[in-house]
Structure 1
Amino acid sequence: MFKKIFWVGVGVGVGALAYRKLSEARSLAGPEGLNRVVGRLADDVADTLAAFREGMAAKETELRDSLGLDPASEAGRGRHTAADPTK
């Protein structure tokens, strides 16, 4: 008796999961769904790049501090053009 109730419960659970997945797939099939997916993907890429830039800036600051470099004097270095004879 309990074995049958268990398997009925499993069947209901699997059926509900399948229904939810099919509904999700159906909503993603249209142009609106594609726009949502692409938008989420673009947001994820932008978030990843922002985190990468923050990490780079933090590491650069850490390296400059450990080497004793002044960020203000180093910021302008290497940005002069060859046509500028004063620098």
Structure 2
Amino acid sequence: MFRRTFWFGTGVAAGVWATTKVNRKLRQLTPESLAATAANKAIETGARIKDRAVGFALDVRDNMAQREAELTDALGIRESPELPAPRRIAAIENTTYTTKSYKTHPYNRNEDH
């Protein structure tokens, strides 16, 4: 009798364990769960790529500054040259041309000839 009870209990425990495992796996394979897992992985990958890109950019900037200093010393440049002031383009104002006088403007190409 004890033997049958033991094996019955063992079978029940194995059945509960297997059912729990199967249900857990089925919940992981639902579309919502798969979408959430994919989104989490994408966010993690994006963060890793961003960290690497920022590190790379900082390394490039440091090396660029170092190389610029080397070239400045090699060429004997002590000060940065001053650039000329930017040129200003004068706007030509036509006081006779307004939106209201568009059709009556003497230089309107769309007039009948």
TM-score, scaled to structure 1: 0.52
**Structure whose alpha-carbon radius of gyration is higher:** 2
Alignment gaps of 5+ in structure 2: 1-33, 89-113
Residues of 1 paired with 2:72 and 2:44: CA distance?
42
Instruction: Pick closer, same or farther for the CA change 1:33–1:61 going to 2, 3 Å.
Output: same
CA drift at 1:36:
0.8
Instruction: Pick closer, same or farther for the CA change 1:79–1:52 going to 2, 3 Å.
Output: farther
- Pairing partner for 2:47 from 22, 25, 39: 39
Matches within 5 A, 1:1-87: 29-70=37-78, 73-74=79-80, 77-78=82-83, 80-83=85-88
Deviating more after overlay: 29-38 vs 59-68: 29-38
Residues of 2 paired with 1:31 and 1:42: CA distance?
16
Greater relative contact order, per chain length (Cα 8 Å cut-off, separation 6+): 1
Residues of 2 paired with 1:64 and 1:45: CA distance?
28
Query: How many equivalent pairs are there?
Result: 54
Return the structure number with greater helix share.
1
TM-score, scaled to structure 2: 0.41
Alignment gaps of 5+ in structure 1: 1-25
